[in-house]
Amino acid sequence: MTKGKTRRSFIKKMALSSSIIPSFPYLISDNYTQKLTLDRSYEFENFTSNDQINIALIGCGIQGIINTNVALQVPGVKLIAVCDLYNGRLDRAKELWGKDLFVSRDYRLILNRTDVDAVIVATPDHWHRRITIDSMESGKAVYCEKPMIQNFNEGHDIIKTYNKTGKVCQIGSQTMSSLGNEKAKELYEDGAIGEIVMLDMFNDRNSIEGAWQYPIPPDADQKSIDFDFFLGDTPKVPYDLKRFFRWRNYQDYGTGVAGDMFVHAFSSLNYIISSNGPKRALSTGGLRYWKDGRNVPDINICLYDYPKTKNHEAFNASLRVNFISGSGGGSGFKLIGTEGAMEVSSNYCKLIRSKKGEIPSNYSLSAFTEKIQKKIKKSYTKKKNENKVKPKNYGESLWEAPSNYKGGHYDHFYNFFQAIRGNGKIIQNPTFGLRAAGAALLANKSYFEKKVIKWNPESMIIE
């Protein structure tokens, strides 16, 4: 994107060629509303058992199962091994994917297998760095669930190993490869919203599951769970089922609401506007309701400053999460610009362009005499007419994925497996992953240290 694109250049073009839709329909005058369909085509071959990609799952919890079920929808992919530290999840893996699966509580036995081509790392956050690095060094391609890191100092180690081994490594932020994101990127680069001035993101939840109070199985005990292995390099603590099954609630193992949800926003935002991320963050919030032993907030609000770059002007981002929203659940992701706004999700993109108030109303004119009011109105109208160099096109355009769309999660795995086969590059490599996770983790550091945190998005280090 060249700096300074405005609605004028967007309208002048009138038609957008795209791999998502064939063209952009002609814009009609004032207050139009149009609804369009996004589409996606996939390239598949007839795969035999000799050229299929054999995958293994490391971490067979909620997200691990979701990831694997989506990955197996892509033709030419077979699951052959599963690792988890709770025996019940290994039993569940065989229920889901067959009794012939190789299962283990030690991920290193998975990496020793020569028939495993790629692994899905869906462990607690504090294990991401070690297992991702070990996997690439053992010759495996890696799909690492977001956030890529738990701590800032871990990311560069993963990038170094990625560059050294040359193995494919995709960071798993599910909406990254979606139709909604791709359309938003196309529109932004064509100047549809002018210069971005703000991102507004929120996520409201009002349930025990939404607040990570996951159920604890009655058969869980010290024999069925390898709790010591789970702790890894974290401080040694007594056996605790809550820490194992509800690890997101603890700083030792998770990354709080920022690492869980802010990272999605930064992945999409940085992709859409081709940015490396923010330079400063200020966070607040608190533990307002879920006082169940957790030591991370259940409400978090963070303000970010993005610097001016060749791809965008300086702007601000506001991100918030509320785990006890009495009004009910909901979420939003909106890019707001000088000429319009876009609401974006995995399955749709809505472009909104509104009239800008250019002539004073009675609100400000009422303090003047009737004679002066007429003169002011006349001067503003004349100025507006003289500067009128673009046609009217105020309204809404909604692009939606069809009902049979497989979803952004599927597209992300499709991208991953295509890269393994040498058919293109991954969309979220470890450098991209560190910039998204690093930006999210700024919220945690600011919250706990109660101060503004500065970050260099180019070198990806705290300043």
Domain boundary (172, 192, 209) is at 172
Higher-pLDDT residue of 175 and 132 is 132
Burial class (CB in 10 A: 0-12, 13-18, 19+), 449: exposed
Both 168 and 201 in one domain: the answer is no
CATH number at residue 135: 3.40.50.720
Write out pLDDT tens, residues 80-139.
999 999 999 999 999 999 999 999 999 999 999 999 999 999 999 999 999 999 999 999
Q: What is the largest CA-CA distance in the chain?
A: 89
Of 214, 300, 292, the residue nearest 257 (C-alpha): 300
- Tell me, yes or no, whether 193 and 266 share the same domain: yes
186 occurs within a structural domain: yes
Query: What pLDDT score was predicted for residue 27?
Result: 46
Residues whose CB falls within 8 Å of the CB of residue 99, separated by 6 or more in sequence, listed in order? none
Q: Which helix (H) or strand (E) holds 301?
A: strand 299-306
Q: What's the CATH number where 240 sits?
A: 3.30.360.10
Question: Please, what's the b/e burial string for 281-292 (b: 16 or more CB within 10 A of its CB; e: otherwise)?
Answer: bbbebeeeebee
- Summarize pLDDT for 40-89 with one digit per residue, the tens: 989 877 888 788 999 999 999 999 999 999 999 999 999 999 999 999 99
Q: Which domain holds residue 263?
A: 7-40+177-421+429-462
Residue 46 lies in a domain: no
Q: How confident is the model at residue 29, as a pLDDT?
A: 47
Sign of CA dihedral 455, 210, 327, 289: negative
Work out the average pLDDT over 287-298.
97
| Residue-level pLDDT at 392 | 57
Residues 6+ apart with CB under 8 A from 37: 21, 399, 400, 401, 402
From 239-243, 344-348, 355-359, 407-411, the region with the lowest mean pLDDT:
355-359
Question: Are 119 and 189 found together in one domain?
Answer: no
**Residue 361: inside a domain, yes or no?**
yes
Q: Is residue 309 part of a domain?
A: yes
Task: Find, among 303, 301, 312, 302, the residue nearest to 276 by Cα.
Answer: 312
Domains in the chain, number: 2
CA distances from 362 to 198, 372, 429 (A): 29, 12, 55
Mean pLDDT calculated for residue range 10-17: 40
The tokens 């050229």 sit on which residue? 51
| DSSP code per residue over 72-105 | TTSTTEEEEEEE-SBHHHHHHHHHHH-TT-EEES
One domain, residues 105 and 234? no
pTM value surpassing 0.75? yes
Q: What pLDDT, on a 0 to 100 scale, did the predictor assign at position 26?
A: 42
Q: Are residues 69 and 167 in the same domain?
A: yes
The single residue listed with the structure tokens 């193995």 is: 167
For 366: left if phi > 0, alpha if psi spans -120 to 50, otherwise beta; the answer is: alpha
Higher pLDDT, 18 or 88: 88
* H/E element, 150: none
274 and 352 in a common domain: yes
- When pLDDT is averaged across residues 335-343 and rounded to a whole number, the result is 96
Give the containing element (helix H, strand E) for 453.
strand 453-456
* % pLDDT > 90, the chain: 83
Q: Are residues 150 and 273 in the same domain?
A: no
Examine residue 201 and state whether it is found in any structural domain, yes or no.
Answer: yes
* Among the listed residues 67, 158, 177, 156, the one whose alpha carbon sits nearest the alpha carbon of residue 119: 67
Mean pLDDT for the stretch of residues 186-204: 96
